[in-house]
A and B are shown apart, each in its own frame.
Chain A
């Protein structure tokens, strides 16, 4: 069974600090997809990134970057120069590769990030 672990329950930083959110996953599939979602205080889930298991290139989008390492089954998320608006719960998630009726998205427990001014 697939599993996602976000060991950091809560992180608190001061504005402009860099912060990395850890995500470790388990799956027996060779092809899978990894996601990060942001949940701000308003409660909606906002898609940030999707990665497939064959693409290990790191990705950068503005202040956000993602480090995918299959060797350690990790998909970590770094926010550079954090801002108060980055305060949210961040979820890492994993989906199976096959287009079967049983495919579904498995979430980690989430990391509450608080950025203080």
Chain B
């Protein structure tokens, strides 16, 4: 029933290389988010988008950039990957910015990124 897919699901990359993660939705939702999950920290917001070409920073945005050229795709780029960016990355979508509609926020299955 996906509605939201993340690719790749797993990736191992070397320090210093650029990496792009993709989030694709078929729900036509306005809002899209990138979170990272680390032990002891829960999920923390990296960047989010409130429309095509409209993005803003979250609480842990350093070292990351995003782009949203069309409604269905939200890309997260690590310009030069570091070991501290080893994490599980989740994309989420929402019809409303507050999650007040339907089931609130729908999450992708996650991307496990390892930087060696």
Contacts and interface: CB of A to CB of B under 8 A. Distances in A.
Interface of A: 4, 6, 9, 32-33, 35, 37, 43-45, 47, 50, 52, 91, 95-110
A33 B100 contact: yes
B85 interface: no
A108 B54 CA distance: 27
Contacts of B97: 95-96, 98-104
B105 A109 contact: no
A91 B54 CA distance: 28
B54 A105 contact: no
A94 B46 CA distance: 16
Nearest to B110: A43
B62 to A, nearest CB: 17
A105 B100 contact: no
B66 interface: no
Interface string B69-108: 0000000000000000000101010001111100111110
A91 B43 contact: yes
Interface residues of B, number: 29
A44 B98 contact: no
Contacts of A44: 107, 109-110
9 contacts: A33-B104, A44-B107, A45-B107, A47-B106, A91-B43, A96-B97, A99-B96, A104-B48, A105-B92
Nearest to A47: B103
B82 to A, nearest CB: 23
Contacts of B109: 43-44
B50 interface: yes
Contacts of B104: 33, 35, 47, 50, 95, 105
Interface in B1-55: 31, 33, 35, 40-45, 48, 50, 54
Contact of A107 (B31, B43, B56, B99): B43
A73 B7 CA distance: 38
B63 interface: no
A110 B42 contact: yes
